[in-house]
Amino acid sequence: MFNVKSSEVGAVAWCPYCLAGMHPRPAIGSSIVFLNESDVGQSGLVMADQWRTCPSDRFLAKMAHEETGTLRMAMPSHELFLDVELLVVPAWMPPVSSKTMPSCMIAFCILWTSYR
């Protein structure tokens, strides 16, 4: 479960994790990239739930690596994702392991932006 608070200062500094934490539910047709859990770095396209199978707190995504016709249910309360157009890796961001992000990245972001 995603349980890290985003920083507004971090979002201004283009921290992708802070931006994702503040990002509203994506619109149908949006291209998104996942930033945590097992799908880190994977991209997908937000799809309409024409079958009405998704609970209201989730949405469907067609992942780029999946076969045609395969949709994935995404849960915004448990996963971090960001619109591909907003994904910019800032020059100040250090490389981190997918096991330690996003919590260590947001902590670094808050620390870095507070001393700027």
Mean pLDDT of 41-69: 93
CB 7 within 8 A of CB 15: yes
Given a cut of 60, whether residue 102 has pLDDT beyond it is: no
Distances (CA, A) of 58 to 6, 11, 15, 47, 77: 20, 24, 24, 11, 9
Given a cut of 80, whether residue 96 has pLDDT beyond it is: no
| Residue 29: per-residue pLDDT | 96
Distances (CA, A) of 19 to 22, 30, 53, 109: 5, 16, 28, 11
Higher pLDDT: 24 or 55? It is 55
Number of other residues whose CB lies within 10 A of the CB of residue 9: 15
| Residue 2: per-residue pLDDT | 45
Residue for token pair 């990245």: 105
Class of domain 8-114: mainly beta
Number of other residues whose CB lies within 10 A of the CB of residue 85: 9
